[in-house]
Amino acid sequence: MTQPIPASSRGTVPGLLSAHPLGEQLPAVYADDDFAMRFVAGLDTVLAPLFTVLDCLEAYFTPALAPEDFLDWLTEWVGTELDGTEPLPVRRHAVAAAISLHRLRGTRRGLATAVQLAFGVRPEIEESGGSTWSARPLGSFPGAPRAGLRVVLRVRDPSTVDVHRLRAVVAAARPAHLPFTAEVTSTIPAPEGS
């Protein structure tokens, strides 16, 4: 009984012809040697997927075109806050948006975007900080005296959201110095007739 090949492995592709057959590149003395031609044909079978990958290498690093298993590797490589259970289009978008998200990391907008990308819902964010301007010295400090961050995700069914996953996304995208709380609550249904 043969074992199925894991989806994440690369190997020979039945019927794939080499773009650079080795037999055509051998000196003419080997052209009549049946064993040599069959031997290099076997190597062509092994090398054809490698040549194809090298010829299409740019597509592997383009999130919209990359094979799914390579996209999962790219997801880890660029440091997205995904766990791999998201739909393929969401993962492709996350990899494509990773650079702009890293630029926003630690900001309110970056946190909101990371949570929305992971859960499909824009969160409510309350933070303790603030800023103000005064022409006189010794004014009152803006914001709350105790630093903190509160992220609320409102969804129809809170049981469908993994709270631990939400906390992990918030922990990765928040300002590093702020303690935080993350919670999931249900949306309030709109009144009838509105």
Asked if 52 and 16 count as a contact pair (C-beta separation under 8 A), the reply is yes
158 three-class SS: helix
pLDDT confidence of residue 131: 77
**Does residue 174 form part of some domain?**
yes
* pLDDT, tens only, 170-181: 998 898 888 999
Separation between Cα atoms, residue 71 and residue 62, nearest integer Å: 9
pLDDT confidence of residue 72: 87
pLDDT confidence of residue 11: 59
**Does residue 10 form part of some domain?**
no
Q: Give yes or no: residues 41 and 72 share one domain.
A: no
Assigned token pair, 138: 């010794």
User: Which residue's structure tokens are 């490698």?
Assistant: 50
pLDDT confidence of residue 32: 85
Question: What is the Rg, in whole angstroms, of the alpha carbon atoms belonging to the chain?
Answer: 27
Q: Taking the alpha carbons of 79, 83, 85, 87 in that order, is the dihedral positive or negative?
A: negative
Residue ranges in the chain modelled with pLDDT below 50: 1-2, 5, 8, 190, 194
Q: Give yes or no: residues 126 and 180 share one domain.
A: yes
**Does residue 90 form part of some domain?**
yes
**Does residue 72 form part of some domain?**
yes
Asked if 59 and 66 count as a contact pair (C-beta separation under 8 A), the reply is yes
Q: Give yes or no: residues 79 and 126 share one domain.
A: no
Q: Give yes or no: residues 63 and 88 share one domain.
A: yes
Q: Give yes or no: residues 126 and 176 share one domain.
A: yes
Which residues form the domain of 81?
58-104
Nearest residue to 36 (alpha-carbon basis) of 16, 19, 21: 21
Q: Give yes or no: residues 96 and 50 share one domain.
A: no
115 three-class SS: helix
Assigned token pair, 27: 């000196």
Q: At what angle do helices 108-119 and 88-104 cross, to 10 degrees?
A: 170
Separation between Cα atoms, residue 63 and residue 123, nearest integer Å: 26
What's the total number of domains in the chain?
Answer: 3
pLDDT confidence of residue 193: 52
In this structure, how many other beta carbons lie within 10 angstroms of the beta carbon of residue 23? 16
**Does residue 164 form part of some domain?**
yes
Asked if 167 and 83 count as a contact pair (C-beta separation under 8 A), the reply is no
- For the chain, report the end-to-end CA distance as a whole number of angstroms: 63
**Does residue 178 form part of some domain?**
yes
Average pLDDT for the chain = 83
**Does residue 110 form part of some domain?**
no
Q: Give yes or no: residues 43 and 65 share one domain.
A: no
Q: Give yes or no: residues 73 and 43 share one domain.
A: no
pLDDT confidence of residue 48: 84
Q: Give yes or no: residues 65 and 96 share one domain.
A: yes
pLDDT confidence of residue 112: 94
**Does residue 71 form part of some domain?**
yes
Q: Give yes or no: residues 51 and 72 share one domain.
A: no
Q: Give yes or no: residues 44 and 68 share one domain.
A: no
* pLDDT, tens only, 49-78: 888 888 888 988 999 999 888 898 898 888
